[in-house]
Amino acid sequence: MNIGKAASLSGLTVKTVRYYSDIGIINPQVDANTGYRDFSEADLAKIQFLAKARKFDFSLDDCRELLALYENKERSSKEVKALTLEKISEINVKLSELQMLKDQLSQLASACQGDDRPNCPILDALSDKNS
Protein backbone atom coordinates (compact mmCIF):
# COMPACT_ATOMS: atom_id res chain seq x y z
CA MET A 1 0.00 0.00 0.00
CA ASN A 2 1.15 3.57 -0.53
CA ILE A 3 2.14 5.96 2.25
CA GLY A 4 -1.18 7.79 2.17
CA LYS A 5 -3.16 4.64 2.82
CA ALA A 6 -0.74 3.49 5.54
CA ALA A 7 -1.02 6.88 7.22
CA SER A 8 -4.80 6.88 6.99
CA LEU A 9 -5.16 3.37 8.40
CA SER A 10 -2.80 4.16 11.27
CA GLY A 11 -4.34 7.51 12.14
CA LEU A 12 -1.04 9.29 11.55
CA THR A 13 -0.04 11.93 9.05
CA VAL A 14 1.89 11.10 5.91
CA LYS A 15 4.67 13.32 7.25
CA THR A 16 4.90 11.25 10.46
CA VAL A 17 4.94 7.93 8.60
CA ARG A 18 7.60 9.28 6.24
CA TYR A 19 9.65 10.43 9.24
CA TYR A 20 9.43 6.99 10.88
CA SER A 21 10.65 5.50 7.63
CA ASP A 22 13.42 8.08 7.21
CA ILE A 23 14.82 7.39 10.69
CA GLY A 24 14.60 3.64 10.18
CA ILE A 25 11.98 2.70 12.78
CA ILE A 26 10.02 1.11 9.95
CA ASN A 27 11.54 -0.13 6.72
CA PRO A 28 9.03 -0.39 3.89
CA GLN A 29 10.09 -1.66 0.48
CA VAL A 30 11.11 1.11 -1.91
CA ASP A 31 10.21 0.85 -5.59
CA ALA A 32 13.53 1.13 -7.45
CA ASN A 33 11.88 2.83 -10.43
CA THR A 34 9.77 5.44 -8.64
CA GLY A 35 11.39 5.72 -5.23
CA TYR A 36 7.93 5.37 -3.65
CA ARG A 37 7.59 3.47 -0.40
CA ASP A 38 5.44 0.34 -0.46
CA PHE A 39 4.02 -0.58 2.95
CA SER A 40 3.10 -4.17 3.75
CA GLU A 41 0.53 -5.33 6.29
CA ALA A 42 3.43 -6.00 8.68
CA ASP A 43 4.66 -2.41 8.18
CA LEU A 44 1.15 -1.15 8.87
CA ALA A 45 0.99 -3.19 12.09
CA LYS A 46 4.28 -1.59 13.20
CA ILE A 47 3.03 1.90 12.34
CA GLN A 48 -0.16 1.29 14.33
CA PHE A 49 1.96 -0.05 17.20
CA LEU A 50 4.09 3.11 17.09
CA ALA A 51 1.02 5.34 17.02
CA LYS A 52 -0.33 3.70 20.17
CA ALA A 53 3.03 3.75 21.94
CA ARG A 54 3.46 7.46 21.15
CA LYS A 55 -0.01 8.17 22.59
CA PHE A 56 1.33 6.71 25.83
CA ASP A 57 4.20 9.22 25.51
CA PHE A 58 6.92 6.67 24.85
CA SER A 59 9.94 8.36 23.27
CA LEU A 60 11.20 7.30 19.85
CA ASP A 61 14.04 5.41 21.54
CA ASP A 62 11.51 3.66 23.78
CA CYS A 63 9.48 2.85 20.67
CA ARG A 64 12.51 1.30 19.00
CA GLU A 65 13.07 -0.85 22.05
CA LEU A 66 9.39 -1.79 22.32
CA LEU A 67 9.25 -2.68 18.62
CA ALA A 68 12.34 -4.84 18.98
CA LEU A 69 10.70 -6.61 21.90
CA TYR A 70 7.43 -6.92 19.95
CA GLU A 71 9.24 -8.54 17.03
CA ASN A 72 11.30 -10.86 19.26
CA LYS A 73 9.09 -13.85 20.01
CA GLU A 74 11.70 -15.10 22.52
CA ARG A 75 11.43 -11.91 24.58
CA SER A 76 10.87 -11.74 28.29
CA SER A 77 7.82 -9.77 29.35
CA LYS A 78 9.77 -8.36 32.30
CA GLU A 79 11.61 -6.00 29.93
CA VAL A 80 8.32 -4.67 28.60
CA LYS A 81 6.95 -4.30 32.11
CA ALA A 82 10.09 -2.48 33.26
CA LEU A 83 9.76 0.04 30.41
CA THR A 84 6.09 0.50 31.25
CA LEU A 85 6.75 1.02 34.96
CA GLU A 86 9.44 3.54 34.09
CA LYS A 87 6.94 5.40 31.90
CA ILE A 88 4.37 5.35 34.73
CA SER A 89 6.99 6.87 37.04
CA GLU A 90 7.71 9.63 34.51
CA ILE A 91 3.98 10.33 34.15
CA ASN A 92 3.63 10.55 37.94
CA VAL A 93 6.40 13.15 38.05
CA LYS A 94 4.68 15.15 35.29
CA LEU A 95 1.33 14.89 37.08
CA SER A 96 2.92 16.19 40.27
CA GLU A 97 4.50 19.10 38.39
CA LEU A 98 1.20 19.89 36.67
CA GLN A 99 -0.66 19.78 40.00
CA MET A 100 1.84 22.27 41.48
CA LEU A 101 1.38 24.56 38.48
CA LYS A 102 -2.39 24.31 38.80
CA ASP A 103 -2.22 25.11 42.51
CA GLN A 104 0.00 28.15 41.89
CA LEU A 105 -2.24 29.43 39.10
CA SER A 106 -5.32 28.89 41.25
CA GLN A 107 -3.75 30.95 44.04
CA LEU A 108 -2.93 33.73 41.58
CA ALA A 109 -6.44 33.66 40.12
CA SER A 110 -7.91 33.84 43.64
CA ALA A 111 -5.70 36.84 44.47
CA CYS A 112 -6.85 38.74 41.40
CA GLN A 113 -10.00 40.82 41.78
CA GLY A 114 -10.78 40.51 38.06
CA ASP A 115 -12.34 43.96 38.00
CA ASP A 116 -11.83 47.15 35.99
CA ARG A 117 -8.78 48.27 38.00
CA PRO A 118 -5.30 47.81 36.48
CA ASN A 119 -3.85 46.11 39.58
CA CYS A 120 -3.27 42.44 38.69
CA PRO A 121 -1.42 40.00 40.97
CA ILE A 122 -1.21 37.50 38.11
CA LEU A 123 0.79 39.87 35.91
CA ASP A 124 2.84 40.98 38.92
CA ALA A 125 3.79 37.36 39.66
CA LEU A 126 4.62 36.63 36.00
CA SER A 127 6.87 39.70 35.79
CA ASP A 128 8.60 39.08 39.15
CA LYS A 129 12.22 38.22 38.32
CA ASN A 130 12.76 36.65 41.76
CA SER A 131 10.11 33.96 41.31
Q: Is residue 113 part of a domain?
A: yes
**DSSP per residue, the chain:** --HHHHHHHHT--HHHHHHHHHTTSS--EE-TTT--EE--HHHHHHHHHHHHHHHTT--HHHHHHHHHHHH-TT--HHHHHHHHHHHHHHHHHHHHHHHHHHHHHHHHHHH---SSSS--HHHHHHH-TT-
Does residue 85 sit within a domain? yes
* pTM reported for the whole predicted model: 0.73
CATH number, domain containing residue 15: 1.10.1660.10
Structural domain including 109 reads 76-131
Residue 70 resides in a domain: no
Question: pLDDT tens digits for 54-72?
Answer: 999 999 999 999 999 998 9
Question: In this structure, is residue 66 part of a structural domain?
Answer: no
Please check the confidence at residue 120 and state whether its pLDDT lies above 70.
yes
- In a shared domain, residues 82 and 117: yes
How many structural domains is the chain composed of?
2
